[in-house]
A = this chain, B = another copy of it.
Amino acid sequence: MASKKNHDPSACARYEKATELLGKRWTGMLVRTLLDGPRRYGELAAASDISDRVLSERLKELETEGLLARSVDPGPPVRVSYALTKKGEGLWKVVEEIGKWADRWLDGERES
């Protein structure tokens, strides 16, 4: 079946993994925000109406995926901040192209 198609199954699997990662709610927002530089937890929380539980979960996931790094300044006061890793920064072009497409096609939902 798949062998009839001129494609690379491992590339497809990587692609699926990448889109699933990017497609999780708030991932895009967090990556976009952090592309401007590191942010403290409170700043990320203030940037949207995302709940603390969901924000913490999503940050943890992105850290596990190696997209961002968490650092703790022992203070006082203790300050937790997040920055993109090289892998996370590598998404800037993807983020830009998604933004362009969304501006073109999802603004007022023009259909072709």
Identify the A interface with B (CB < 8 A). 1-2, 4-5, 7, 10-12, 14-29, 32-33, 46-49, 66, 85-88, 90-91, 93-94, 96-107, 109-112
Which residues on the B side are within 8 Å of A100 (C-beta)?
Answer: 93
Identical subunits present = 2
**Given A15-B98, A93-B101, A103-B11, residue A22 in contact with residue B22 (CB < 8 A):** yes
Q: In whole angstroms, how far apart are the Cα atoms of A47 and B98 in the complex?
A: 25
Which residues on the B side are within 8 Å of A21 (C-beta)?
Answer: 23
Chain A residues touching B, majority SS: helix
A109, chain B: closest CB distance, angstroms: 8
Which B residue sits closest to A69, measured CB to CB?
A: B112
A28 near B15: Cβ-Cβ < 8 Å: yes
A68, chain B: closest CB distance, angstroms: 10
A96, chain B: closest CB distance, angstroms: 8
Q: Mind listing 18 A-B residue pairs with CB under 8 Å?
A: A4-B46, A12-B29, A14-B106, A15-B28, A17-B102, A19-B22, A21-B23, A85-B111, A85-B112, A87-B105, A87-B110, A87-B111, A87-B112, A93-B100, A94-B94, A94-B97, A94-B98, A94-B101
